Structure 1
């Protein structure tokens, strides 16, 4: 499915389940999302992380509504806490076989997102590994001089910001040297088409979701 369609579907699903409590619908989405992830051959370790990490937030919501309220309601407690897993698993279905570059290209071509935002997002994502390496180098250089820069040290982050500004300036100059112009029409190197099946599957999923929300409890 088209990356933009998958993202919009995940967003609509998250918004709709937040408007109405439907425990059966939440569990159905969770089961279908897990099946989809297994079909896409997600690693068992990653799946366990997806199920265990949100448990703290889900359990906190459940405990608050079930044990620490004057009028506990098991249905509402389970419905609201299960939403956490719906949010996590639906966005995982989007990202499991779609990287940031594909999503940015899809937004630019299909939803006409300005190229400066698309390229800005890609630049920010690509600069993260460089920033991690820069932070390691800064800490190593400090230790060689007998200065320990802790994780919360303002000196460390000040120097990291200087490195980021320098990298941003080099990136801007590099894009301009390759002929990038903000408002100029750009050709498409890698096309991300919208197919008929994208519309069909999106319609089927949304119809099934709304029927489940209004029929199931």
Structure 2
């Protein structure tokens, strides 16, 4: 499916399950998302990460609703427990099957988002590994001066912000040097097509989900 339609579909389903508590619908959506991910070669490491990453938050939600709420509604507690996993599995259906670059290009070409948004997102994503290395370098530099910068230290984030501002200016100059102009028309090297098959899949899945949410 086209990345933009996939994103819109996930947002619509997530919004619907936010207003419609339905335990069985949550379980069916989790199962469907899992089958989709397995079809796209989901690894055991990714599956365990999806399973255990939201577990603490899901347990907190379940405990608050079942042990501390006045009515001790077990069904509603399980409903919100599984709802969190629906959000996580639906997000995984997008992030694990679509690259950030392809999604950004699809948003630019198919939804006509401004090119500055697309290239800004791509630049930020490409800088994440370098920013991680820069934070480690700041840690080491501080330790050499006898100072320990903790994860929550304001000095650490201040230094990282200064580095990011310097990089932003360099990126701006680099894009201008390569001929980028904000309002100028640009050629498309990698076209992201929006076909009838994508629309049929989008509408088919959306229509299929409605009776699961509102009738089951």
Q: Cα distance 1:66–1:154, how it changes in 2: closer, same or farther (>3 A)?
A: closer
5+ residue gaps, structure 1: none
Determine the structure 1 residue equivalent to 2:61.
Answer: 61
Structure 1 moving runs of 4+ over 4 Å: none
Pairs within 5 Å for 1:85-96: 85-96=85-96
Deviation at 1:45, TM superposition (A): 1.7
Determine the structure 1 residue equivalent to 2:138.
Answer: 138
Determine the structure 2 residue equivalent to 1:115.
Answer: 115
Determine the structure 1 residue equivalent to 2:159.
Answer: 159
C-alpha separation between the residues in 2 aligned to 1:54 and 1:98?
21
C-alpha separation between the residues in 2 aligned to 1:66 and 1:142?
47
What TM-score results when the alignment is normalised by the length of structure 1?
Answer: 0.94
Deviation at 1:66, TM superposition (A): 1.8
SS state at 1:5 partner? helix
C-alpha separation between the residues in 1 aligned to 2:40 and 2:87?
18
Q: Cα distance 1:64–1:200, how it changes in 2: closer, same or farther (>3 A)?
A: same
Range with bigger deviation, 197-206 or 141-150: 141-150
Determine the structure 1 residue equivalent to 2:127.
Answer: 127
SS state at 1:113 partner? coil
* Per-residue Cα deviation, 1:191-214 (whole angstroms, up to 9, x for no partner): 000011111111111111111112
C-alpha separation between the residues in 1 aligned to 2:142 and 2:63?
46
C-alpha separation between the residues in 1 aligned to 2:213 and 2:137?
53
CA RMSD of aligned residues (A): 1.4
Matched, 1:7 2:4: no
C-alpha separation between the residues in 2 aligned to 1:149 and 1:80?
38
- What is the aligned length? 216
Q: Cα distance 1:213–1:155, how it changes in 2: closer, same or farther (>3 A)?
A: closer
C-alpha separation between the residues in 2 aligned to 1:200 and 1:179?
38
Q: Cα distance 1:183–1:151, how it changes in 2: closer, same or farther (>3 A)?
A: same
Deviation at 1:185, TM superposition (A): 1.0
* Per-residue Cα deviation, 1:16-74 (whole angstroms, up to 9, x for no partner): 11111111111000011111111111110210121122222222222222221221222
Deviation at 1:142, TM superposition (A): 2.9
5+ residue gaps, structure 2: none
Deviation at 1:117, TM superposition (A): 0.8
C-alpha separation between the residues in 1 aligned to 2:37 and 2:153?
40
Determine the structure 2 residue equivalent to 1:189.
Answer: 189
Determine the structure 2 residue equivalent to 1:70.
Answer: 70
Determine the structure 1 residue equivalent to 2:200.
Answer: 200
C-alpha separation between the residues in 1 aligned to 2:149 and 2:24?
51
C-alpha separation between the residues in 2 aligned to 1:147 and 1:45?
36
What TM-score results when the alignment is normalised by the length of structure 2?
Answer: 0.94
